[in-house]
Amino acid sequence: MKRSLLGLIVCLSLGLATEAAKAQSGALIPIKAGYFKGSILTLTNDVAVAQGFYKKHGLEVELINFSSGPDELNALVSGGIDVLTWTATPIMKVNAKGLDIQAINPNVGAPAYSLVARKDVDRPNRDKPYPQNILDLKGKVIGVPARGADIEMVGRLFLKEAKLDPDRDVTWLAVGATPTGIAAFKAKRIDYLIAWEPGQTLLVDVEKIGDMMVDQRKGEGSPLFKRFISNVSAARRSQLEKEPEKFRRYAAAMVETLQFMKKPENFERVLQIFKSMSGLDESTLRLMLKNNIQYFDPKLDCKALENVADFGVQIGDIPADKKPTCKSFVWEQSHKYTDLASGK
């Protein structure tokens, strides 16, 4: 077993080293990458810059910060950026409407959202397994960033699996982004919040005013989320076909970045990079990174992507007849890098 693991590490290192050597032999290729500065879900971009992995693989990167996913998507479609890092479900959704965006590599191999309950809310079913514990949501107020957003659809799926009516049995309240969502939680305007980072860590670990009721990152909740890929790097198919060398280099840089982040001995270095990009204090960032670092993964799991597509169909984002397959959603040359990371 140890020899097999050692062989995998050697093969991965040699493979990426060969790609890097080829890349360094020529001029750097410029690439514009969209991301969300300070977000843990796009931390890979900051790490790749700080550790020199983009340049190692022959890229001169310009990171462009966005405040919303739709804005980042519009920039990709218009040619303002070459690649984005975003959640997989909305990419599949816009593809079903006529766009043709393909994933280059996975970044985060777990759902990003969790259901957090106020500690003072009565929950007689708190110790029961999912979905029986969801019965406690009946008659309560659930906070979401915006009505109709995918994050609300996650909550609706929870309710349906508990045989509750999402339109009659609960009240939905749009609370905006994380800061205003936390404020609504503290003011008791909501009983539950469907949260993502940094909300999860702030409410549960730092403020200690919330209980983690369903943590999808750990495979809790709907069976669909037990194998899932929430976050990918992606580009337009036309650009992938026009400039394959640029995106081959990008894929190699991302795989090396993700491998670096997952090694325990690099935790402190990743933390310092995260700190330099975030306005939160180091103790909070340390907890957040500890809670999430294990979910960063470059390995391509087609079953997980199929679950993403099935989720999109269940919530009405993707028509059943336009549900993507792993083959259609993932750039064909990605397998060279993601399979190498998987040891194939």
Sheet order of strands, 114-118 included: 171-174, 141-144, 192-195, 114-118, 210-215
- CA 196 to chain CA centroid, Å, is 10
- The alpha-helical segments, DSSP class H, found in 57-139 are 69-78, 88-96
What is the sign of the dihedral through the CA atoms of 191, 195, 199 and 205?
positive
pTM equals 0.87
pLDDT at 186: 97
pLDDT at 335: 79
Q: φ, ψ for residue 194 (rounded to 5)? A: -85, 110
For the chain, what are the domain ranges? 2-110+228-342, 114-226
pLDDT tens string for the chain (344 positions)? 444 444 444 455 555 555 555 555 579 999 999 999 999 999 999 999 999 999 999 999 999 999 888 899 999 999 999 999 999 999 999 999 999 999 999 999 888 899 999 999 999 999 999 999 999 999 999 999 989 888 899 999 999 999 999 999 999 999 998 999 999 999 999 999 999 999 999 999 999 999 999 999 998 999 989 999 989 999 999 999 999 999 999 999 999 999 999 999 999 999 999 999 999 999 999 999 999 999 999 988 999 999 999 999 998 899 999 999 999 999 999 878 765 555 55
| Residue range 2-110+228-342, CATH number | 3.40.190.10
pLDDT for res 8: 44
Q: Which two tokens stand for residue 70?
A: 């739709």
Start-end of H helices in the chain: 2-24, 43-50, 53-56, 69-78, 88-96, 150-161, 178-186, 199-201, 237-242, 244-262, 267-277, 282-292, 302-314, 326-329, 335-342
pLDDT of residue 244: 97
Q: What is the pLDDT of residue 247?
A: 97
- Domain 114-226 in CATH 3.40.190.10? The answer is yes
Query: What pLDDT, on the 0 to 100 scale, is given for residue 26?
Result: 75
Tell the residue number behind the tokens 């919330």, with chain if given. Answer: 210
